[in-house]
Structure 1
Amino acid sequence: MKTQRFCLSCDLKDNPKLIEEYKEYHAAGNAWPEITKSIKDAGIIDMQIYLTGNRMFMIMEVDETFDPEKKAKMDADNPKVQEWEQLMWKYQQGLPWAKDGEKWIMMEKVFQL
Protein backbone atom coordinates (compact mmCIF):
# COMPACT_ATOMS: atom_id res chain seq x y z
CA MET A 1 0.00 0.00 0.00
CA LYS A 2 1.37 3.39 -1.01
CA THR A 3 1.03 6.15 1.57
CA GLN A 4 1.41 9.88 1.37
CA ARG A 5 2.07 12.51 4.05
CA PHE A 6 0.30 15.84 4.42
CA CYS A 7 1.39 18.54 6.89
CA LEU A 8 -0.91 21.37 7.91
CA SER A 9 -0.83 24.25 10.36
CA CYS A 10 -3.38 26.21 12.37
CA ASP A 11 -3.23 28.54 15.37
CA LEU A 12 -5.01 28.33 18.68
CA LYS A 13 -6.22 31.46 20.40
CA ASP A 14 -3.34 32.67 22.56
CA ASN A 15 -5.11 31.92 25.83
CA PRO A 16 -3.56 29.36 28.22
CA LYS A 17 -6.96 28.24 29.60
CA LEU A 18 -8.39 27.65 26.10
CA ILE A 19 -5.21 25.88 24.99
CA GLU A 20 -5.45 23.49 27.95
CA GLU A 21 -9.14 22.81 27.14
CA TYR A 22 -8.24 22.10 23.51
CA LYS A 23 -5.49 19.71 24.59
CA GLU A 24 -7.95 17.91 26.87
CA TYR A 25 -10.39 17.39 23.95
CA HIS A 26 -7.52 15.82 22.00
CA ALA A 27 -6.02 13.72 24.83
CA ALA A 28 -5.96 9.96 24.22
CA GLY A 29 -9.50 8.60 24.12
CA ASN A 30 -11.23 11.99 24.40
CA ALA A 31 -11.92 12.80 20.74
CA TRP A 32 -15.50 11.95 19.82
CA PRO A 33 -15.72 8.48 18.24
CA GLU A 34 -17.67 9.89 15.28
CA ILE A 35 -14.73 12.20 14.57
CA THR A 36 -12.08 9.49 14.65
CA LYS A 37 -14.33 7.29 12.48
CA SER A 38 -14.72 10.07 9.89
CA ILE A 39 -10.94 10.53 9.83
CA LYS A 40 -10.32 6.83 9.22
CA ASP A 41 -13.18 6.57 6.69
CA ALA A 42 -11.46 9.27 4.60
CA GLY A 43 -8.32 7.15 4.17
CA ILE A 44 -6.27 8.77 6.92
CA ILE A 45 -4.09 6.06 8.48
CA ASP A 46 -2.41 8.20 11.12
CA MET A 47 -2.88 11.77 12.33
CA GLN A 48 -0.76 13.61 14.86
CA ILE A 49 -1.02 17.20 16.08
CA TYR A 50 1.95 19.00 17.64
CA LEU A 51 1.82 22.30 19.50
CA THR A 52 4.36 25.04 20.19
CA GLY A 53 3.04 28.15 21.88
CA ASN A 54 -0.29 28.54 20.13
CA ARG A 55 0.84 27.23 16.70
CA MET A 56 -0.21 23.70 15.78
CA PHE A 57 1.21 21.33 13.20
CA MET A 58 -0.80 18.36 11.91
CA ILE A 59 0.87 15.41 10.21
CA MET A 60 -1.38 13.00 8.32
CA GLU A 61 -0.36 9.71 6.77
CA VAL A 62 -2.97 8.75 4.18
CA ASP A 63 -3.60 5.81 1.89
CA GLU A 64 -4.31 5.91 -1.84
CA THR A 65 -8.07 6.43 -1.24
CA PHE A 66 -7.53 9.82 0.42
CA ASP A 67 -8.67 12.91 -1.48
CA PRO A 68 -8.73 16.30 0.32
CA GLU A 69 -11.77 17.49 -1.67
CA LYS A 70 -13.67 14.27 -0.95
CA LYS A 71 -12.78 14.61 2.76
CA ALA A 72 -14.06 18.21 2.80
CA LYS A 73 -17.37 17.10 1.25
CA MET A 74 -17.68 14.16 3.67
CA ASP A 75 -17.10 16.57 6.58
CA ALA A 76 -19.62 19.11 5.24
CA ASP A 77 -22.25 16.35 4.97
CA ASN A 78 -21.62 14.96 8.47
CA PRO A 79 -23.58 16.82 11.22
CA LYS A 80 -21.39 15.43 14.02
CA VAL A 81 -18.20 16.62 12.27
CA GLN A 82 -19.79 20.03 11.80
CA GLU A 83 -20.71 20.13 15.51
CA TRP A 84 -17.08 19.23 16.41
CA GLU A 85 -15.67 21.84 14.01
CA GLN A 86 -17.95 24.51 15.47
CA LEU A 87 -16.80 23.57 18.99
CA MET A 88 -13.12 23.58 17.98
CA TRP A 89 -13.48 27.05 16.41
CA LYS A 90 -13.91 28.31 20.01
CA TYR A 91 -10.21 27.43 20.46
CA GLN A 92 -8.77 27.86 16.96
CA GLN A 93 -7.99 30.90 14.87
CA GLY A 94 -6.75 31.16 11.34
CA LEU A 95 -3.11 31.77 10.57
CA PRO A 96 -2.37 35.47 9.89
CA TRP A 97 -2.33 34.78 6.11
CA ALA A 98 -5.42 32.52 6.09
CA LYS A 99 -8.48 33.37 4.07
CA ASP A 100 -11.59 34.28 6.07
CA GLY A 101 -12.84 31.20 7.94
CA GLU A 102 -9.88 29.04 6.82
CA LYS A 103 -8.44 26.87 9.59
CA TRP A 104 -5.87 24.24 8.70
CA ILE A 105 -3.52 25.30 5.90
CA MET A 106 -1.40 22.90 3.88
CA MET A 107 2.32 23.34 4.50
CA GLU A 108 5.00 23.32 1.83
CA LYS A 109 7.86 20.84 2.26
CA VAL A 110 11.11 22.79 1.92
CA PHE A 111 13.65 20.15 3.01
CA GLN A 112 14.03 16.38 3.10
CA LEU A 113 17.08 14.41 4.22
Structure 2
Amino acid sequence: MQTRAFRMTLNPGQADEYRRRHDAIWPELSKALLDAGVLDYRIFLDEASNALFAVLSHEDAHGLDELPGTELMQRWWQFMQDIMVTHPDASPLSVTLQPMFCLTRD
Protein backbone atom coordinates (compact mmCIF):
# COMPACT_ATOMS: atom_id res chain seq x y z
CA MET A 1 0.00 0.00 0.00
CA GLN A 2 1.11 3.55 -0.76
CA THR A 3 -0.20 6.86 0.55
CA ARG A 4 -0.29 10.22 -1.20
CA ALA A 5 -1.21 13.57 0.32
CA PHE A 6 -1.94 16.81 -1.45
CA ARG A 7 -3.42 20.25 -0.90
CA MET A 8 -6.05 21.98 -3.01
CA THR A 9 -7.87 25.29 -2.52
CA LEU A 10 -11.59 25.82 -2.22
CA ASN A 11 -13.09 29.12 -3.34
CA PRO A 12 -14.33 31.21 -0.38
CA GLY A 13 -17.85 30.39 0.76
CA GLN A 14 -18.00 27.05 -1.07
CA ALA A 15 -17.49 24.58 1.80
CA ASP A 16 -21.14 23.55 2.02
CA GLU A 17 -21.38 23.08 -1.74
CA TYR A 18 -18.15 21.08 -1.84
CA ARG A 19 -19.45 18.77 0.86
CA ARG A 20 -22.85 18.47 -0.87
CA ARG A 21 -21.23 17.46 -4.16
CA HIS A 22 -19.01 14.89 -2.50
CA ASP A 23 -21.86 13.50 -0.43
CA ALA A 24 -23.56 12.84 -3.77
CA ILE A 25 -20.42 11.68 -5.61
CA TRP A 26 -21.30 9.98 -8.85
CA PRO A 27 -21.39 6.19 -8.36
CA GLU A 28 -19.40 5.69 -11.56
CA LEU A 29 -16.64 7.95 -10.21
CA SER A 30 -16.51 6.07 -6.91
CA LYS A 31 -16.27 2.83 -8.87
CA ALA A 32 -13.52 4.19 -11.11
CA LEU A 33 -11.47 5.28 -8.10
CA LEU A 34 -11.90 1.94 -6.36
CA ASP A 35 -11.17 0.03 -9.58
CA ALA A 36 -8.00 2.11 -10.00
CA GLY A 37 -6.75 0.83 -6.64
CA VAL A 38 -7.93 3.41 -4.10
CA LEU A 39 -8.21 1.87 -0.65
CA ASP A 40 -8.99 4.99 1.38
CA TYR A 41 -9.50 8.62 0.29
CA ARG A 42 -10.12 11.41 2.78
CA ILE A 43 -10.32 15.16 2.28
CA PHE A 44 -10.15 17.67 5.14
CA LEU A 45 -10.89 21.41 5.13
CA ASP A 46 -8.96 24.12 6.94
CA GLU A 47 -11.77 26.67 7.20
CA ALA A 48 -9.41 29.55 8.01
CA SER A 49 -7.51 29.22 4.72
CA ASN A 50 -9.99 27.31 2.50
CA ALA A 51 -7.25 24.71 2.03
CA LEU A 52 -8.36 21.17 1.30
CA PHE A 53 -5.96 18.47 2.48
CA ALA A 54 -6.38 15.09 0.82
CA VAL A 55 -4.90 11.78 1.93
CA LEU A 56 -5.25 8.90 -0.48
CA SER A 57 -4.06 5.34 0.12
CA HIS A 58 -3.88 2.96 -2.81
CA GLU A 59 -2.66 -0.44 -3.82
CA ASP A 60 0.95 -0.72 -4.95
CA ALA A 61 -0.25 -1.78 -8.41
CA HIS A 62 -2.78 0.86 -9.39
CA GLY A 63 -4.33 2.68 -12.32
CA LEU A 64 -4.59 6.16 -10.80
CA ASP A 65 -2.28 7.75 -13.36
CA GLU A 66 -4.74 6.88 -16.14
CA LEU A 67 -7.78 8.51 -14.49
CA PRO A 68 -7.02 12.13 -15.48
CA GLY A 69 -7.26 11.17 -19.16
CA THR A 70 -10.72 9.64 -18.83
CA GLU A 71 -13.91 11.37 -19.94
CA LEU A 72 -15.40 10.68 -16.51
CA MET A 73 -12.64 12.52 -14.63
CA GLN A 74 -12.77 15.39 -17.12
CA ARG A 75 -16.53 15.76 -16.46
CA TRP A 76 -15.97 15.71 -12.68
CA TRP A 77 -13.33 18.41 -12.94
CA GLN A 78 -15.66 20.56 -15.05
CA PHE A 79 -18.41 20.01 -12.45
CA MET A 80 -16.12 21.12 -9.61
CA GLN A 81 -14.34 23.97 -11.41
CA ASP A 82 -16.71 26.71 -10.24
CA ILE A 83 -16.01 26.09 -6.54
CA MET A 84 -12.24 25.38 -6.56
CA VAL A 85 -8.99 26.87 -7.75
CA THR A 86 -8.16 25.00 -10.96
CA HIS A 87 -5.84 24.86 -13.92
CA PRO A 88 -7.17 26.04 -17.32
CA ASP A 89 -8.11 22.40 -18.14
CA ALA A 90 -10.37 22.38 -15.00
CA SER A 91 -8.11 19.99 -13.07
CA PRO A 92 -7.71 21.08 -9.45
CA LEU A 93 -4.61 23.07 -8.70
CA SER A 94 -2.91 20.77 -6.23
CA VAL A 95 0.38 20.67 -4.40
CA THR A 96 1.93 17.37 -3.33
CA LEU A 97 2.61 17.25 0.40
CA GLN A 98 5.80 15.62 1.62
CA PRO A 99 5.55 13.01 4.37
CA MET A 100 7.11 14.21 7.62
CA PHE A 101 5.88 11.75 10.24
CA CYS A 102 4.02 8.46 10.36
CA LEU A 103 2.78 6.40 13.28
CA THR A 104 1.17 3.06 12.55
CA ARG A 105 0.17 0.04 14.53
CA ASP A 106 1.96 -3.12 13.45
TM superposition score normalised by structure 1? 0.75
The size of the alignment, in residue pairs, is 98
Q: CA deviation at 1:50?
A: 0.6
Distance 1:31 1:107 in 2: 24
Match of 1:104 in 2: 94
Q: CA deviation at 1:4?
A: 1.3
Aligned partner of 2:19: which letter?
A: K
Given candidates 78, 82, 85, the residue that maps to 2:77 is: 85
Given candidates 6, 11, 14, the residue that maps to 2:9 is: 11
Distance 1:110 1:20 in 2: 30
Percent of residue pairs identical: 23
Distance 1:74 1:55 in 2: 23
TM superposition score normalised by structure 2? 0.80
Q: CA deviation at 1:60?
A: 0.7
Q: CA deviation at 1:59?
A: 0.7
Distance 1:72 1:92 in 2: 21
Given candidates 51, 76, 99, the residue that maps to 1:55 is: 51
Q: Which runs of 5+ in 1 are unaligned?
A: 95-99
Match of 2:18 in 1: 22
User: Contact conserved, 1:34 with 1:81, CA < 8 A, in 2?
Assistant: no
RMSD: 1.8
User: Contact conserved, 1:8 with 1:105, CA < 8 A, in 2?
Assistant: yes
Q: CA deviation at 1:44?
A: 0.8
Q: CA deviation at 1:25?
A: 0.8
Q: Which runs of 5+ in 2 are unaligned?
A: none
Distance 1:52 1:89 in 2: 19
Aligned partner of 1:9: which letter?
A: R
